[in-house]
Structure 1
Amino acid sequence: MKTAEIAQRYLDYFERNGHTIVPSASLVSDDPSILFTIAGMVPFIPYLNGTVPPPYPRAADVQKCIRTNDIEEVGKTARHGTFFQMLGNWSFGDYFKEGAIGYAWELLTSSEADGGLGFDERDLWVTVYEDDDEAASLWKKIAGLPEARIQRFGAEDNYWSTGQPGPAGPCSEIYFDRGPKYGRDGGPAVDDSRFTEIWNLVFMQYAITNVRSKTEFDVVGELPKKNIDTGMGLERVAFIKQGVDNMYETDQVRPVLDRAVALSGRPYGAVHEDDVRYRVIADHIRSSLMLLSDGVTPSNEGRGYILRRLMRRSIRAMRLLGVDAPTFPELFSASRDAMKSAYPVVDEDWARISQYAFAEEETFLRTLASGSTILDLAVTQTKDAGGTELAGSEAFLLHDTYGFPIDLTLEIAEEAGITVDRDGFDTLMREQKARAKADAKSRKRALADVSVYGDFRAKGETVFTGYTDLETESSVLGILVDGVPTDRATEGQIAEVILRETALYAESGGQVADKGVIVGPGYELEVLDVQKPVPGLVSHTVEVTRGDVGLGAPATSVVDRANRRAARQAHSATHLVHAALRDTLGKTATQAGSLNRAGYMRFDFSWSQALSAETRTEIEEIANNAIYDNLEVTTRVLPLADAKELGAMALFGEKYGETVRMVDIGGPWSRELCAGTHVATSAEIGLISLVSESSVGASNRRVEALVGHDAFRELAAERALVAELSANLKAPRDQLVARIAELGANLKAAEKKIAAFEAGKLAERAPELAASATTTGPFRVVSAAIGAVGSADDLRTVALAVRDRLGDEPAVIVLGAVAGDRPVVIAATTARAREAGAKAGVLAKTAAGVLGGGGGGRDDVAQGGGTDAALLPDALSAAVRALEVA
């Protein structure tokens, strides 16, 4: 039974039993405390904890999930995968334990001919929470399971909570017996490899508080509405139904594994280490494909870092299998073909997905090449200094700064005959993880518990009137001070105010929040920010500038008209620039993020190379021609499927409901899903002036533009600057470029003459410096700070001139100077000095360490530098002392 068929049978079964079928949410989680949708229940948290009223009493879905906390286990077990799909059925105050158990048992054990999954009842075991007699009794009643196949576990295994105060409850897990080939008999309590968990039924019936750990908390009482949250692992059911040993060999994953085998030429199933690598590749390529399809792009932080790590682990595994050439074009294509029947977007959006994937592989292959060079140098320096162990800090630098894998560092070091201070590396890694964890916790704390908004959201959605009105009368629904609900805010306080209706736009879709005020009898509130803390609810952060405001008070939200007008211009300009980019570069130049505020817009798009000046001009011209043509701007609210069929573009990472707002500028020329505010016709934008274009990653570019009056003021300032230059240089405007080029050439010529003069003066010092040589051990040493020089090259010239004068002696020259306000050191050695053990690279590095910088180089000549020029005498002394142990 194919994976997609299992999923469809699941959905069909629950739809027949009155459940609303809900599409999978994005892998990018709405919850700011987590990066990804890590479990099937994540999209339903607002309904489960009562923050948002559920739109249906019961539902079922197939949810895409990413979980990387067990990434090191991927490939080693039958069930660990970073991307997985969770089949779930949900009840929000509707059916409870008896319904959940009945549905699960019927679907699992009904014959395939009747639409079930066809499991043999004799192969199924269950676990229940140790005190949940009700669940145990229901399993006997509904499924006829004997006591021996119902095992009781403690809270560590069979009690669910979010880890925070709120809803919780016991759970019951269903296990499949894979048979004696896979381990000992006796149920999941004896062997959870033979007995594989396939379904978890969570009975959310209690409210808990004072959560101290997973197993330590206080039960407040029963929830007024009890919920059901279930999750069945699609991959686990698939590998059982398909008769294979693990999830990596199922129909959606195995094609990638087979392609990797073909590329490497090594068989699967022959060598354990190779098999693990093949499974890692198969899993990580699929996970990367799915993350890219949901708009995540490779980067060095957050979600992008996780994606980059998955992709680079795949590249690394292929390298260990003997393949150094690019493999992503074949591996990603194999994954696309395996997944497109379940997720058509991976095929429809292949041009964009493949662009990011292939560029990332190309970048990392270059990283491996450059990292190998850096590592080779570190190894050489370690051995030259008489060491046998590469410092943990060096290995960590390669990993953290260059993305060079530690296992590759270990391999190369071993080949060179030295070890790596793995304990030192691991210590630095732990410190980094601790910092990241602390940062995540602080962010989680800073984003207060959204359950505080539950009572307000339960009264209905905030009505946004700002598309048509800039003032709206309403009333105060809620007030929070320091995150705590209160009935009044007084003059001078910062508070959150929730209204039933508002004309003020809440930040979303790249558009910043409106400016404005909220006024009522005896009070005035300056609006500092407008946000949506939970879906459907708008909260205004305000400063009470006059009077007091209380619950239920009349309130009129007033939008700053000038700011809104400029914000509308900027948002509509963003759409025009997007359309112009696609006209110029093609359909793969898709949006990767945006920001627009009054007078300014920023637009990120998928593209891997800088735009030429001609291309920038063309994009700017197309966008401004659209303004000149005074295109009509229309908005429509329609079903999401209809909007997509009409070709509307969606912003990756944005969440869309079943109905969406579609904005057209000039009909289909610019057609996007957008909840922002816009002008009525394109001429209202006035003017777009592109001011910059830059890189924001290996495959992303960014354009920034000024809009409307801000664009006009910028161009007026440039015109004034041109006029001033023209007057000062006594050249007409059309001759300015030639005149400035002429002045530049004259300046360069003058600089060359000055540099030649200064170099000559420095060279004249060579005899004096050579004559100052002193003896240290077997060496004749020249050590001096010679003041300021034009560049490090000038200092190098002097050092080499001194060395030439001492060429027949075992001479060492260490000179220091200040170049451009920074200290620089040059070390040089003669052939006889090198024979006696002097190494210029070691001396330069020693001196640079005193200066607070770095250095190194060849044995004959090397350079170092730092930040503190006052330490030059100490640096030179340190280098001379290093000779004593050479």
Structure 2
Amino acid sequence: MDTAEIRRRFTDHFERNGHTLVPSASLLLDDPNLLFVNAGMVPFKPYFLGQETAPYARATSVQKCVRTLDIEEVGKTTRHGTFFQMCGNFSFGDYFKEGAIRLAWELITGPVDSGGLGFDPELIWVTVLPSDDEARELWHTVAGLPYERIQDRGLEDNYWNMGVPGPGGPCSEIYVDRGPEFGPDGGPNADEDRFLEIWNLVFMQEELSAVRSKADFDVAGPLPARNIDTGLGLERVAYLLQGKQNMYEIDEVFPVIERAAELTGRAYGADAGDDVRFRVVADHVRSALMLIGDGVTPGNEGRGYVLRRLLRRAVRSMRLLGHEERALPELLPVSLAKMKLGYPQLEADFERISRVAYAEEDAFRKTLAAGTQIFDVAAGEVKQTGETTLSGAKAFALHDTYGFPIDLTLEMAAEQGLAVDEQGFRSLMAEQRARAKADAKSKKGQHADTSVYRGVLDANGPTQWLAYETLETESAPVALLSGGARVEALREGEVGELVLDRTPFYAESGGQAADAGWIEFDGGRLEVVDVQRPVKGLVVHRVRVAEGELALGAAGAGALQARVDPQWRIGARQAHSGTHVVHAALREVLGPTALQSGSYNRPGYLRLDFGWTQSLSPDQLRDVEQVANQALRADLPVAWQYMTLPEARDWGALALFGETYDESQVRVVEIGGRWSRELCGGTHVDHSSQIGTVVVTGESSVGSGNRRIEAFTGVEGFAYLARERDVVAELTGLLKTQPDDLVGRVGDLVDRLRSTERELDRLRVAQLLAAAGSVADAASDVGGVAVVAHRVDGAGGSDVRTLALDVRNRLASDRPGVVVVVGVADGKVAVVAAVNEAGQARGLKAGDLVKTLGPILGGRGGGKADVAQGGGSDVARVDEALAAVPAAVAGVAGG
């Protein structure tokens, strides 16, 4: 049974039993605790936490997931994968333990010809929390399981919570016996390789007030409504039903291994070490495909770093398997061919996905080349000291700073007869992971405490939001808050939060800044400084009391006038519509794969992030600006309408990566019909000409594979152009030329300046060399060695090197000679040592001399025996350093 069929059977089973099918959310959700969605229940967290009311009593989904803690284990076990799919069924205050157990049992043991998965009931084992007698009895009575196949497990295994205060409850895990060839008998408590967990049923029934660890928490009491959350691992079920040994051999993954084997000429199954690498390749290529598909681009931190690591581990593994050519163009399309069956949007977006992935592989190949050079230097330094082990610190620096994998460091060290302090490297890696874990832990609990807002919403209903219809409303205060708690009044000068029964203010969302304005009442005035939606349906105004005192229940507070600043709203509408116009212009100039990955706009200003692997040329920027302004001149109509999410996709509307949309109703904004269609909840102009102008001011990188374009609109755009005009006018006045001739005139001045600088450099070098003769004549004799130790003020590194070499050449060639020149310029010290052949024959080395002077000057340096250079920062000790030269020479040559 292939994976797609298992997925279909799961959702069909639960739809037949009254569940609403919810499509997989993006792997990226706005959650401070998560880099990626890592469990099937994550998109439903607002319902479980009570932040929102679930729109259905029962739901089912097959959710894309990524877990990053197991990256190092990928390929080594049968069940660790970075990307996986979690099948789940959820009940929000509807059925509970009996329903969950019955529905799970019917699916896993139901006959294949009746839509079930067909597992032999005699091979099923389950675990329960020791105190959960109810679940134990239900498994016995509903499923008919004998008590000996219902095993107890403690809180660590069979109790679920989020790691923060909130819902929790016991869980029950379902296992399949794979047979005696996989391990000893005795159920999951005896061996988890033989008895493989496929499904976890979570019974949310308690409210936790404190969570100190998975097994240490405080229970405040029962939940108001008991919920069900289950998760079945699709890949695990697939490899059991397909008769495979592990998840890497299922139909969605193994074709990548087959192609990798063809490319490398090595057979899968012939060598244990190679098999791990093949599995790493297959898992990471699939994971990267899914991550890029959801808008992640490679970078040096967060989600981008995870993707970069996955891609580089895949490329590195192919290299260790013997394939040193580009690998991803051969492997990524193979993964696409299988994954598009479940996620057809991948095929439509593959041009963008592949461009991001291939660019990262090319960058890594350059890193490998540069890292090899850095490794050679490090290895050379180790050999010079007579050591045979590369330190863990150097191996870690190669890995952490340059992205050079430890496996390659080990391989190349062995080729040069060196060992690597792996223990030291692992220790530093563990410290880094501990810091990352501590950082992640410090962010735990950042689920905003929305209980006070939820209480306001439950008591008063949703805010009547009129931002699309009007700039002014007569409103009544519903609640006042300060410091996260409800208060009865806000006094003059205080800052707090105000909830109104109705409001014209736009709450920050979709990249658009919140409206500004005023709320007035009898005897007072509030300045609106921010507007947010902490829970769905509730609009909260952050206000500063400019005049008077606002008290709930006071006569003067009965009617408030809420007024949006009209100029602010005009600018905001221009900027938001301008963002859509720039996005459409980018796609027209660069192609359909230039998709927005984020945006921000405020009155008169916009920035738009989009997936692209290289900087835009000046011509491309001008083209984008020109296309945008042509759209403004065409006075394109701007319209919006509501439809279901599937309808919007069929209509060609673009959705922002990582955003979660209501399936039943989305707002589609179009400019010029099909030219620009996007899902958007922002405020917009009625015709494109009302944007005024679009002035592109810059384009920059915001991470590998992601660019940012910035622009001004409306009055702010014209003001920017006016400033540019003023600059041109001032320059033409200073240079006494016409605007059309300005560029040529400035170019001439730059050429003359460069020519003058070159002449000055030539004169300075000539002056230095003119003094070389007298410097050489002043050489002292140290044990038969001619020694020059000379200071030059105002000379940098290249000048110092030129002088040192010239002085050395002027010394007698048949007599040992040493030249050390120290230059001082701009508070920095440059040191160059030069030793002639006769001096080298006496054992004198330029590199050793520089290393001797480095600590005195507060710096370091090194080089070869004939020439070496270094630097420092302690100008006050230059003379002391020069005085040390004769002693250093004497220590080697005698005298």
TM superposition score normalised by structure 1:
0.95
Aligned-pair identity in percent equals 54
Name the residue aligned to 2:667: 661
CA separation in 1, counterparts of 2:465 and 2:855?
61
CA separation in 1, counterparts of 2:228 and 2:53?
15
Name the residue aligned to 2:612: 607
Post-superposition shift, 1:529? 2.6
Name the residue aligned to 1:29: 29
SS of the residue corresponding to residue 440 of structure 1 reads: helix
After TM superposition, the structure 1 = structure 2 runs for residues 708-747 of structure 1, keeping only pairs within 5 Å, are 708-747=714-753
Mapped pair 1:231 → 2:237: no
| 1:692–1:145 Cα change, 3 Å | same
Q: CA RMSD in A?
A: 2.4
Question: What one-letter code is carried by the residue in structure 1 that aligns with 2:514?
Answer: A
Name the residue aligned to 1:105: 105
CA separation in 2, counterparts of 1:823 and 1:533?
57
Kept in 2: contact 1:472–1:558 (CA 8 A): yes
Question: What one-letter code is carried by the residue in structure 1 that aligns with 2:172?
Answer: S
Question: What one-letter code is carried by the residue in structure 1 that aligns with 2:747?
Answer: A
CA separation in 1, counterparts of 2:280 and 2:466?
51
Question: What one-letter code is carried by the residue in structure 2 that aligns with 1:169?
Answer: G
Kept in 2: contact 1:129–1:153 (CA 8 A): yes
Name the residue aligned to 1:123: 123
Question: What one-letter code is carried by the residue in structure 1 that aligns with 2:404?
Answer: F
Post-superposition shift, 1:450? 4.1
CA separation in 1, counterparts of 2:887 and 2:12?
81
Pick which of 597-606 and 512-521 moved more: 512-521
Post-superposition shift, 1:742? 2.2
Kept in 2: contact 1:92–1:227 (CA 8 A): yes
CA separation in 2, counterparts of 1:740 and 1:566?
36
Post-superposition shift, 1:423? 4.2
| 1:831–1:238 Cα change, 3 Å | same
Question: What one-letter code is carried by the residue in structure 1 that aligns with 2:332?
Answer: F
Post-superposition shift, 1:776? 6.6
Kept in 2: contact 1:52–1:458 (CA 8 A): no
CA separation in 2, counterparts of 1:3 and 1:468?
49
Question: What one-letter code is carried by the residue in structure 1 that aligns with 2:587?
Answer: R
CA separation in 1, counterparts of 2:483 and 2:272?
56
Pick which of 77-86 and 427-436 moved more: 427-436
Name the residue aligned to 1:568: 573
Mapped pair 1:814 → 2:820: yes
SS of the residue corresponding to residue 586 of structure 2 reads: helix
Name the residue aligned to 1:250: 250
Post-superposition shift, 1:571? 1.5
Post-superposition shift, 1:862? 3.4
Gaps of 5+ in 1: none
CA separation in 2, counterparts of 1:852 and 1:545?
57
CA separation in 2, counterparts of 1:754 and 1:240?
78
Question: What one-letter code is carried by the residue in structure 2 that aligns with 1:749?
Answer: S
| 1:201–1:838 Cα change, 3 Å | farther
CA separation in 1, counterparts of 2:785 and 2:41?
74
CA separation in 1, counterparts of 2:23 and 2:117?
21
Kept in 1: contact 2:596–2:608 (CA 8 A): yes
Mapped pair 1:629 → 2:634: yes
After TM superposition, the structure 1 = structure 2 runs for residues 38-187 of structure 1, keeping only pairs within 5 Å, are 38-187=38-187
Post-superposition shift, 1:632? 1.3
| 1:478–1:374 Cα change, 3 Å | farther
CA separation in 1, counterparts of 2:454 and 2:358?
45
Q: Of residues 782, 785, 800 in structure 1, which corresponds to 2:805?
A: 800
Post-superposition shift, 1:679? 1.3
Gaps of 5+ in 2: none
Kept in 2: contact 1:51–1:458 (CA 8 A): no
SS of the residue corresponding to residue 52 of structure 2 reads: coil
CA separation in 1, counterparts of 2:441 and 2:548?
37
Kept in 2: contact 1:49–1:451 (CA 8 A): no
How many residues are matched?
Answer: 885
CA separation in 1, counterparts of 2:140 and 2:891?
82
Question: What one-letter code is carried by the residue in structure 2 that aligns with 1:636?
Answer: Q
Post-superposition shift, 1:609? 2.6
Pick which of 123-132 and 833-842 moved more: 833-842
CA separation in 2, counterparts of 1:137 and 1:588?
56
Pick which of 338-347 and 438-447 moved more: 438-447
| 1:815–1:389 Cα change, 3 Å | farther
Q: Of residues 687, 691, 696 in structure 1, which corresponds to 2:702?
A: 696
Post-superposition shift, 1:370? 0.7
Name the residue aligned to 1:585: 590
Name the residue aligned to 2:505: 504
Mapped pair 1:304 → 2:304: yes
Pick which of 504-513 and 867-876 moved more: 867-876
CA separation in 2, counterparts of 1:842 and 1:225?
77
- After superposition, the C-alpha distances for 1:493-535 in whole angstroms (9 at most, x for unaligned) are 3333334433222222222222223344444333333333344
Pick which of 777-786 and 195-204 moved more: 777-786
SS of the residue corresponding to residue 216 of structure 2 reads: coil
CA separation in 2, counterparts of 1:300 and 1:752?
40
Q: Of residues 641, 646, 651 in structure 2, which corresponds to 1:646?
A: 651
| 1:74–1:330 Cα change, 3 Å | same
- After superposition, the C-alpha distances for 1:765-794 in whole angstroms (9 at most, x for unaligned) are 3234334545678865433331112x4222
Kept in 2: contact 1:476–1:550 (CA 8 A): no
- After superposition, the C-alpha distances for 1:296-328 in whole angstroms (9 at most, x for unaligned) are 111111111111111111111111101111110
CA separation in 2, counterparts of 1:453 and 1:596?
27
SS of the residue corresponding to residue 533 of structure 2 reads: strand
Question: What one-letter code is carried by the residue in structure 1 that aligns with 2:547?
Answer: R
- After superposition, the C-alpha distances for 1:268-300 in whole angstroms (9 at most, x for unaligned) are 111101001111111111111111111111111
CA separation in 1, counterparts of 2:383 and 2:724?
58
Pick which of 61-70 and 397-406 moved more: 397-406
Kept in 1: contact 2:820–2:833 (CA 8 A): yes
Post-superposition shift, 1:567? 1.9
Name the residue aligned to 2:362: 362
Kept in 1: contact 2:164–2:445 (CA 8 A): no
| 1:808–1:246 Cα change, 3 Å | same
CA separation in 1, counterparts of 2:531 and 2:489?
19
Name the residue aligned to 1:283: 283
| 1:371–1:97 Cα change, 3 Å | same
Kept in 2: contact 1:296–1:653 (CA 8 A): no
Question: What one-letter code is carried by the residue in structure 2 that aligns with 1:192?
Answer: E
Question: What one-letter code is carried by the residue in structure 2 that aligns with 1:542?
Answer: V
| 1:482–1:157 Cα change, 3 Å | same
SS of the residue corresponding to residue 119 of structure 1 reads: coil
Question: What one-letter code is carried by the residue in structure 1 that aligns with 2:807?
Answer: V
Post-superposition shift, 1:838? 4.4
Post-superposition shift, 1:752? 2.4
Kept in 1: contact 2:96–2:228 (CA 8 A): yes
SS of the residue corresponding to residue 592 of structure 2 reads: coil
Kept in 1: contact 2:51–2:536 (CA 8 A): no
Pick which of 728-737 and 808-817 moved more: 808-817
Kept in 1: contact 2:29–2:660 (CA 8 A): no
TM superposition score normalised by structure 2:
0.94
| 1:842–1:464 Cα change, 3 Å | farther
Post-superposition shift, 1:76? 1.0
Pick which of 502-511 and 296-305 moved more: 502-511
Name the residue aligned to 1:529: 530
